[in-house]
Amino acid sequence: MGKIVHSHGLFIENFYHGNLNRFSPCPPCSPWLRFFSTRKIISSFIVVLTLSGSVQAANAPPAFSQVQAAHRPSDGVLRDRHGEPLATVRLDTNARRLPWVPLSDISPALIEAVTAAEDKRFFAHSGVDWVGVAGAAWDNALGRSERGASSISMQVAALLDAGLARQPGGRSMGQKWTQMQAARALEQQWSKQQILETYLNRITYRGELQGIGAASWGLFDKHPSGLDRSEASLLAALIRAPGAPIKQVALRACAIARAIQAAGDCDKLTHHAKIALGAKPNPQPVNALAPHLARRLVTTETRDVMSSLDAHTQRLAVESLDHHLASLVASGVQDGAVVVLDNVSGEVLAYVGASERFSISPQVDGVVAPRQAGSTLKPLLYSLALEKRLLTAATLLDDTPYNLATTNGLYVPQNYERDYKGPVSVRTALGASLNIPAVRTIVLTGVPAFHERMKQLGFSTLVDDPEHYGFSLALGASDVKLLDLANAYRALANQGRMSDIRLTPGGTQPARAVIDPAAAFIVTDIMSDRGARYVTFGFDNPLATRSWSAVKTGTSKDMRDNWAVGFSDRYTVGVWVGNFAGNPMHDVSGVTGAAPIWADIMNQLHAEQSSQAPHPPKGVVRRPVRFQEGIEIARQDWFIPGTEPDKIIAWRSPAQTAMRITYPTDGTIIALDPAIPDAHQGIPLRAEGAPGSYNWQLDGKPLERWSRGNTAWLSPAPGRHQLALMDESGKIVDQIRFEVRGYGELVSVR
């Protein structure tokens, strides 16, 4: 069968060389015999072509517009809401194709080089270059070269019709004839410019680089319009043998350069070839602003996606994250993520999953990767307590050491700075992000109620059982997604109304009421209060933006996660910094880690239009507040009607405001130790409540009276027991069940 002259699958072997022997009675005979046999073949084809006249190919060529529309880049593209490309995603791993390049956007130098190398008379013939065919036959008959004769039009015809594609054994004479007919038919329906444009966009140049766009960017890192004559010569040289050695490509490129009279040193061209072809071709996307969202949205079914992102907002988020991470690297911070939401529509305007510059795991998407929430859940907890009328912004909470007995042992929360402020208002407790008042608050609301509220707010990573977290849920023990957290804060910005976020433009989503508007407004007012933050953060801190905003920071246990989430009248911005690998940061808090990024983005978003504080909703009243001397200064505060104070707020300790058993807790299981004498094994009975004496009751029988300030001890007996706490009137105010496992007898309270 025919010998392959071009290694590229789209090119054709010499028209006659491979089939010469079937016409020659004496292959080893002299060149003259081969010459006369070849001339006879050529003459026969010319006669047939003349007689066939306007004979068309069996399959009519498709319209140029159809071919252009059917072009599929190997990469899908994500665009912003205005159509600007933001990122690409590789979808086809067999070849690398970029978007179709019009002939008007291709350098004239390349057109000149390609036609000189592949089809000198392209603009003169009508599909088949018979002069070239004759010349190829002559050269091959004389053994001077193995020269091809397929015109550009013939090659394009083969590209468009799979039946004309070159087979491993070469084409038969009948197939070549059909290819010629297809080329003539193509020329009758398409312009020369359309044929050449298709050719340059469909052929393979090197490796997986298919089409001039991928070749130009992959080898020279430039648009096809910017190719010079040297680069054009190299690309034209690759067409016949895309996988040829660099030296061979360079020699052919030098010949092409001479043919188009391109001045230049062949040694320099060879050096240029070594640089361009020596490295692995890899056309980088022109834009890579939102790779994580692109991987979420761009698929083989949705190859070109218009997202809700705004390119300007996305750029400032990327730049701000990288700029501030540069100063945190020394503190062991490598990763970060940012999301910006439109408060009204819920559209995501910026989505930065990681820092391409600093992260060692840039493929991880920090926007949806679950991380420990830290103190960022406190505004949501306090809004629930306000809504249930359990607290007001002026209610005093005790910020002193606090031990909570649980079935797993004692829970001992501590403040971030390991100190205690004593009695503080809810406004100060939230603004200064104090931990112990938050734990006291979740004791009031109950863990299940707060867990349910978080589910209503769209936290998708919660464990179903509230007791999995216990009281630590108040301090952000749960793992949350940045996107979920930001959208929950957006509900606060919208006075308690919740709707799903949008990653593509298309109007607003249906909203549902989740948080009482009055409670949402009061919490928002606290989050925007610089004075409330003073106790922990001081007045001069990165949370103070140039126009109105409400914000909360958070730091997880062991310094692994750092957050700043807040909103203005138009935007909600969420920032997380840390390490995807879980390595702790060093000396990084919410104010020094995520907050500067958050404030930078928020200030830039409102550089031209200031943010305005929200108007109070119906259902809130503003009243003067005076505290017992030395606690907090007098001020005006917001209240839900019916909860506002009518006199000076005095301090009462938790022991004066609650009556409950603190140990053992309900469901506690106590195991006796056989190595310890019975007399030394005891269960402490603890309670807190109003002043006065309490009565204890065990399994329905009264025990010795216990006065505040003393601890009662119960010598345990195996079995299940019920313990009750009664006030002075004998009314049971609290009761729990516990179990003792082991041996011994129940003795008495002492």
Domain ranges of the chain: 17-59+81-278, 371-639, 654-741
Rounded-to-integer distance, Cα 505 and Cα 349, Å: 10
**pLDDT of the residue at 590:** 64
Q: Which residues pair with 341 in a beta bridge?
A: 348, 572
Burial class (CB within 10 angstroms; exposed 0-12, middle 13-18, buried 19+) of 704: exposed
Cα–Cα distances (Å) from 349 to 81, 156, 303, 315, 574, in that order, read 9, 44, 20, 11, 12
> By the 8 A CB rule, do 708 and 679 touch?
no
Q: List Cβ neighbours of 50 (8 Å cut-off, separation of 6 or more).
A: none
Rounded-to-integer distance, Cα 147 and Cα 167, Å: 19
**pLDDT of the residue at 164:** 78
- The full 3-state SS of 541-591, as one line of letters, equals CCCCCCCCCEEEEEECHHHCEEEEEEECCCEEEEEEEECCCCCCCCCCCCC
Q: Where are the alpha helices (DSSP H) in 221-352?
A: 229-240, 246-259, 266-278, 291-297, 311-328
Indicate the DSSP class of residue 627: B
Task: Return the structure tokens found at 363.
Answer: 């493929």
Question: Strands, DSSP E only, in 586-711?
Answer: 621-625, 635-639, 660-663, 668-671, 683-688, 693-698, 701-702, 706-707
Helix (H) or strand (E) holding 512: strand 512-513
- The CATH number of the domain covering residues in 654-741: 2.60.40.10
Q: Tally the residues of the chain.
A: 750
Residue segments in the chain with a per-residue pLDDT below the cut of 50: 1-38, 40-41, 43-45, 47-58, 146-147, 655-656, 690, 706-709, 744-750
> By the 8 A CB rule, do 102 and 197 touch?
yes
CB atoms near residue 634 (< 10 Å)? 11
Rounded-to-integer distance, Cα 567 and Cα 489, Å: 7
Rounded-to-integer distance, Cα 343 and Cα 486, Å: 10
**Nearest in space to 531 (alpha carbons), one of 326, 350, 393, 691:** 393
**Nearest in space to 277 (alpha carbons), one of 243, 226, 309:** 243
- The CATH number of the domain covering residues in 371-639: 3.40.710.10
Q: Which long-range contacts (CB under 8 A, 24 or more apart) does 36-41 make?
A: 37/141, 38/137, 38/138, 38/140, 38/141, 39/137, 41/16, 41/137
**pLDDT of the residue at 11:** 31
Task: With H, G, I as helix, E, B as strand and everything else as coil, classify residue 85.
Answer: strand
CATH of 17-59+81-278, one of 3.40.630.30, 3.90.1150.10, 1.10.3810.10, 2.60.40.10: 1.10.3810.10
| 708-724 exposure pattern, b = at least 16 Cβ within 10 A, e = fewer | eeeebebbbebeebebb
Helix (H) or strand (E) holding 719: strand 719-726
Q: List Cβ neighbours of 424 (8 Å cut-off, separation of 6 or more).
A: 396, 397, 399, 432, 434, 437, 535, 631, 632
**pLDDT of the residue at 140:** 59
> By the 8 A CB rule, do 109 and 234 touch?
no
Q: Which residue has the tokens 């989430």?
A: 565
**pLDDT of the residue at 366:** 97
Hey, what amino acid is at 590? G
Radius of gyration, alpha carbons of the chain: 40
**Nearest in space to 19 (alpha carbons), one of 234, 173, 128, 199:** 173
Cα–Cα distances (Å) from 605 to 84, 139, 495, 584, in that order, read 19, 71, 21, 31
Reported as a single tens digit per residue, the pLDDT across 108-165 is: 999 999 999 999 989 999 888 887 677 666 665 565 554 456 889 999 998 998 877 7
**Nearest in space to 60 (alpha carbons), one of 160, 151, 174:** 160
**pLDDT of the residue at 501:** 96
| 732-741 exposure pattern, b = at least 16 Cβ within 10 A, e = fewer | ebbebebebe
pTM to 2 decimal places: 0.76
Task: Return the structure tokens found at 149.
Answer: 């004769």
